[in-house]
Amino acid sequence: MLKVAIIGASGYTGGELLRFLKDHEKVEVVAATSRQYSNTPVRKVHPHLQDLDLKFEDKAPGDIDADLVFTATPHGASMNIVPQLVETGVKVVDLSGDYRFDDISIYEKWYGLKHKKPLDAVYGLPEMYREEIKKANLVANPGCYPTGSILAGIPLVKEGLVDTIIADSKSGVSGAGIKPTPATHYPNISDNIVPYAVTTHRHMPEIQEKLQKFGNVRVSFTPHLVPVIRGIITTLHSFPNQEVTSEEIQQMYKNHYQDEPFVRVLDAGEIPRLSSVRGSNFCHIGCFEIDDNGRLVVVSAIDNIAKGASGAAVANMNLMCGFPETMSLESCGLHP
């Protein structure tokens, strides 16, 4: 059994890691750390995990005896923990933004931080870097918005069809984390749709840097908080630079993703739905329509905590450790 630890296990991504890992045949969770909830049973914080016989511990990274560690820590905190773990030969999947960027200057500009310890890391989107992930010791797990936007955009950029992409994303509130704030206060977000960080969200440069691996593209991005618990719908608007039909676009996507275990290109007329991916590691992509002005729409749906965070992290672990990529991630979405 692979010994696995989670640093920062009391948040939503920590809870979701524990949910995926508890039934994983090859894994034993040996530690779940939390300063705030030290010595508290995990089920007091994650009430769905009633049968998990585990307590949070306030453990320093150096005291963790594990083969692989998930660092579910905030950006800025991970860079203080990850290097030490990597040095001692532990495999690491980092869920923060600290190791996602090739260009550190972009990270430092958008996160407003000096990076203390850049390291070689593989960007953990298996649909981009599957082979590299298999050999990596440090994987930087993608952001939730980038996962939905990049998967919706890759085929377009790779084929050189678009110069500019506008991603209008709608995210469930769990994406804002477990900590109550005015933005997540029920009376403020229920029955409401709230654009935020309208042109300044940190996931924009991440989407752009990664899509530019496939071709030249400029990315504009606007997120909205919506009255949904889990899930991100991304509506991608673009203007193809050559004549192309809806059918050709859809076929292009079908071809590109045909062997991917977690991406489903929907039939014509089907709409990606959050309930179809709720709680699952799947990404659904559909709605390849073009209007009279030549604008193309592509829509993707993911669960922000699963495929957008902890599900992807478990897939990365599977790849890094030689397990089947889909192990313990086979569940489909919870609809309705």
227 binds its own copies (CB under 8 A): yes
Q: Please name which of 6, 4, 12 lies closest in space to residue 184, comparing C-alpha atoms.
A: 12
Q: How many CB atoms lie within 10 A of CB 294?
A: 13
| Backbone dihedral angles phi then psi of residue 273, each to the nearest 5 degrees | -120, 140
Contact characters 109-128, its own copies, x per CB under 8 A:
--------------------
Applying CB under 8 A, which part among 30-38, 57-65, 140-148, 212-220 lies near its own copies?
212-220
Of 150, 219, 302, 329, the one binding its own copies by CB under 8 A: 219
Question: Minimum Å distance from CB 10 to its own copies?
Answer: 12
Decide: 17 and 9 in contact? Cβ < 8 Å. Answer: yes
Could you count the other beta carbons within 10 Å of the beta carbon of residue 218?
12
Q: Look-up: residue for tokens 């769990």?
A: 174
> Does 32 help bind its own copies (rule: CB under 8 A)?
no
Q: Which of 134, 137, 235, 254 binds its own copies (CB under 8 A)?
A: 235
Task: Determine the interface stretch with its own copies among 55-63, 99-107, 112-120, 233-241 (rule: CB under 8 A).
Answer: 233-241
Is 144 labeled as catalytic in the residue annotation? yes
Question: Which residues in the 272-331 window bind its own copies by CB under 8 A?
Answer: 273-280, 282, 284, 287, 289-293, 295, 297, 299, 330-331
199 binds its own copies (CB under 8 A): yes
Complete edge-to-edge strand list for the sheet that includes strand 68-71: 27-33, 2-7, 68-71, 91-94, 138-140, 122-123
Distance separating alpha carbons of residues 124 and 134, to the nearest angstrom: 10
Of the candidates 51, 120, 243, 259, which one interacts with its own copies according to CB under 8 A?
51
Binding test (CB under 8 A) with its own copies, winner from 17, 139, 204, 314: 204
Out of 1, 58, 88, 196, name the contact with its own copies by CB under 8 A.
196
Look at residue 121 and give its three-state secondary structure: coil
Quick note: the x/- pattern for its own copies over 79-108, rule CB under 8 A, is ------------------------------
Cis peptide before 187 (omega within 30 of 0): no
DSSP 96: S
Site string for its own copies, 237-276 (x = CB under 8 A): x--------------------------x-x---xx-xxxx
Q: Which of 61, 126, 146, 333 binds its own copies (CB under 8 A)?
A: 333
**Cβ atoms within 10 Å, residue 332:** 13
In order, the DSSP letters of 186-209 are HHHHTT--EE-STTT-THHHHHHH
- Min dist CB 91 to its own copies, Å, is 26
Cα distances (Å, whole numbers) of residue 305 to 137, 147, 282, 314: 23, 11, 11, 12
Considering only residues 154-193, where is the footprint of its own copies by CB under 8 A?
Answer: 164, 166, 168, 170, 172-174, 178-182, 184-193
Q: Which of 44, 216, 247, 255 binds its own copies (CB under 8 A)?
A: 44
- Residues 285 and 266 sit within 8 Å (Cβ to Cβ): yes
Min CB(81)–its own copies separation in Å? 25
Instruction: Please answer whether residues 78 and 99 qualify as being in contact, where contact means their C-beta atoms are separated by less than 8 angstroms.
Output: yes
- Candidates 12-20, 28-36, 115-123, 134-142: pick the segment binding its own copies (CB under 8 A): 12-20
Cite the active site residues.
144
